[in-house]
Amino acid sequence: MSSWERFLETFFNRDIIIQYLPDIASGFLVTVELAVLVVLTGIALGLLLAMVRAYQIRPINFVIICTVDVLRSLPPLVLILLFYFGLPNVGVSLSGFMVVWLVLAVVLAAFAEEIFWAGITSIKKGQWEAARSTGLGMTQTLIYVVLPQAIRMTIPPLTNRTIAITKNTALGTVVGVGEILNQATTAQSFSSNASPLMIGAIAYVLLFVPVVVAGRWIEIRFAWKGA
């Protein structure tokens, strides 16, 4: 057997691919579902925290800042293991899917909060004062005047951070979530062949390359074009 044939036998074994492709396809769907939930809940929570912080209530801001700093400092894997194995000891039992979703969502929310907050604080004080002078309240000024400008300025860093965190859905394999990596490594163990891992890698490319391209398009289409 030539080197090329050995390579194909190891990484692109046709019979093994056909056998385990349905499992990896199932993992692909789980990964997509998990990623969508993480993005939606993480960005929404981050925006909400930034808006609350804009009211400058010191005790609440102190709690938000401390929580965000801790979440940004800890590796997501540590949080996943802590939640999955630690919460049952206090009577809270969550599935691996729920744990990965919640952990990645709050981590994304922590980074999103800081990004949104940077956008909010970049808006000049004069715009706040001008909006308030027209009779708009604090909440109305924040929603109708400040946030539309702030969000446009935060799109590039927010999309990059979102993509980086959603790729961590692969960490679900350590708590038994049936996502792409879990299905691929399980298939590799049973088949003693690297073909399932290669198919898993291709699945990640098929999933995240369009996300990266879409992120770049969003940055170009909606990003703030200041003077």
Question: In the prediction, which pLDDT does 218 show?
Answer: 79
Q: What is the pTM of this model?
A: 0.89
Domains along the chain with CATH numbers: 25-222 (1.10.3720.10)
- Condensed to tens digits (0 to 9), the pLDDT of residues 159-203 reads 888 888 888 999 999 998 989 999 999 999 998 899 999 999 999
How far apart, in whole angstroms, are the C-alpha atoms of residue 154 and residue 120?
A: 9
User: What DSSP string runs through 101-119?
Assistant: HHHHHHHHHHHHHHHHHHH
Q: Of all residues in the chain, what percent carry a pLDDT higher than 70? A: 97
pLDDT, tens only, 27-68: 999 999 999 999 999 999 999 999 999 999 999 999 999 999
Residues 6+ apart with CB under 8 A from 206: 28
